Amino acid sequence: MYKAASLRTTFAILALACGQAMASPAPYSSLIVFGDSLSDAGQFPDLTGASAGMRFTNRDANGNFAPVSPMILGGKLGVSATDLNPSTSLGVRPDGNNWAVGGYTTQQILDSITGTSRLVIPPGNPGAGTVLRERPGYLANGLRADPNALYYLTGGGNDFLQGLVNSPTDAAAAGARLAASAQALQHGGARYIMVWLLPDLGQTPNFSGTPQQGPLSQLSTVFNQALVSRLATVDAEIIPLNVPVLLREAIASPAQFGLATDQNLIGTCYSGNSCVGNPVYGLNGSNPDPTRLLFNDAVHPTIAGQRLIADYAYSILAAPWELTLLPEIAHASIRAHQDELRNQWQTPWQATGQWQAFVATGAQDLDFDSQRSSASGDGRGYNLTLGGSYRLDDAWRLGLAGGVYRQKLEAGQQDSDYKLDSYLASAFAQFRQDRWWADAALSVGHLDFHDLKRTFALGVNERSEKGDTDGEAWAITSRLGYNLAAEGSTWQLAPFISADYARVKVDGYDEKSGRATALGYDDQERTSRRLGAGLLGSVQVLPSTRLFAEVAREHEFEDDQQDVNIRLTTLPANDFTLTGYTPDSNLTRASLGVVHELTPGVNLRGNYNWRKSDELRQQGVSVALSVDF
């Protein structure tokens, strides 16, 4: 039974990593790891010969070690397996970018960055202190960090286990040393650094239920307080992982994470190495299965714990890939509203001094393709628009319109749901004289983002974090054209130029749960400035029926990559900024419509609208009825 369960686990992890690497955004050039045994990818040789390197987690049915969290995370981010190799292994594999070594203290972690990286047998093992290999540290001899890579940093536990931390002062000093490693990376040019908070050592099989449990839990807290305080001063995007809170949630609600609900998850382990082997799911238990337990040995996680932490890290990195689409769906509402106005402007003008009222309803489809730093998304929406116009004289028609637009966007690998209600109002003017014509509209609106549900994988299950927020929008659209045919002709063809400006603000908000995975977001603003050129044409196919069409090519001047400032709600002072969606520089839009006069002064209109850029497709249909009076 152990072999079957382990094989299932191995194949599931490989399929997950490969599938996500193929489909996910890949914003980082590589993943570069520093730390201790919690992240060691296999620096030491596996003396059994079953694996390319020894890792500090459970073995599978073939005797190979399960991956550690940065290996799983790297697979999700599309980082090559070679990049994730150990940095200083003994020739079994080519050197990679994982500099973490089992047994490293915070000082040794710092040395592996700025001084010398040594593969040294840790205390408590045969040959302790023997250096098996050494090489210059990552930034030694003036080398520079890759600013486009993601750096991953763990450490601190060995300072406790090796007797270097015996007081709050010692714990604070160790936390500050780990932060110094992040500082050194930043000084070397690193921009994105992910840092674990130290797990609660009192809540591990090594110390649970012993007199040391309480003091070690307290000292772990002191370590993390010093670490978080120092990290807040580092001038880089420091992404903290609140691992102690996450593991506390797993222990409190094991069923949510696929862990055993009827076992002591912190007093027992899988391997039985320096701890009490679990009698059911342990290696020598009645139903061996490391995926049901949190700890492999006295202090190291099983594959279940490693995957849980990797998923947690990925959920934070992926959040801006989805959240930066919120301003984009607001812009989509504005564009749909403007399309509705432009289509309505094709209805025959009423007589001078008369009013024309209209009502329109429609539906939209919105598709975002994934980018290097944004997720794919599919949107659906519908709208109701009411308005009216007054004809001042032969040359001018003025009007007002208001619309309600409802959208739902599904984005990301777990189909997160984001909903938006847009309330838009516009004032517009139309001009025509001889063969010249022009139109313009000013729109303002309130945005109600509600039921925002970010969903992500977390262990064997999914988790959702929810929130609500508001926003505002305003926009100007204008066109100037010239009719090639005389007024009264059965056909018209008019080249035109266009100018558009739109600004959307999405207010910041916090996800509500208060859990380790809940995030808070600052305000987002997205401005669009476009110039375009196009053709507008129409033909009278029947005395009461006219077809019209429009095609235009527009250039977007505000095409910088969007970003969002984020924080864990459990660590509100440690914010960081990550990138997301990049607007396209050019888009093509087109529309096709028909206007049919039911009776004099009463017109029925139908339209199809389409726009496309490299990663965005928006289309919609609408019908409208207008009445002159």
Catalytic annotation on 60? no
β-bridge mates for residue 378, sequence order: 367, 410
Which residues lie closer than 8 Å to 264 by C-beta, 6 or more apart? 278
Q: Catalytic: which of 37, 89, 315, 370?
A: 37
- Whole-number Cα distances in Å, 472 to 78, 276, 310, 500, 564: 36, 58, 36, 17, 17
Quick one: tokens of 20?
Answer: 């996500």
Catalytic annotation on 417? no
Alpha-carbon span 338 to 422, nearest angstrom: 13
Contact call for residues 418 and 428 (beta carbons, < 8 A) = no
β-bridge mates for residue 497, sequence order: 480, 533
Alpha-carbon span 79 to 24, nearest angstrom: 11
CA–chain centroid gap for 228, Å, is 23
Which residues lie closer than 8 Å to 105 by C-beta, 6 or more apart? 36, 155, 158, 159, 162, 164, 174
Alpha-carbon span 47 to 51, nearest angstrom: 9
Alpha-carbon span 279 to 269, nearest angstrom: 9
Enclosing H/E stretch for 596? strand 586-599
Q: Answer positive or negative: Cα dihedral of 21, 146, 81, 250.
A: negative
Within 318-395, strands assigned E span 355-368, 377-391
Task: Give me the DSSP letters along 66-86.
Answer: PPPHHHHHHHHTT--TTTTSB
Q: Catalytic: which of 271, 300, 333, 498?
A: 300
Pairing outcome for strands 545-556 and 586-599: antiparallel
β-bridge mates for residue 417, sequence order: 410, 453
Quick one: tokens of 617?
Answer: 């497709």
Alpha-carbon span 334 to 22, nearest angstrom: 34
Alpha-carbon span 577 to 71, nearest angstrom: 24
Catalytic annotation on 389? no
Contact call for residues 384 and 421 (beta carbons, < 8 A) = no
Q: Catalytic: which of 60, 146, 297, 500?
A: 297
Q: Active-site residues: which are they?
A: 37, 297, 300
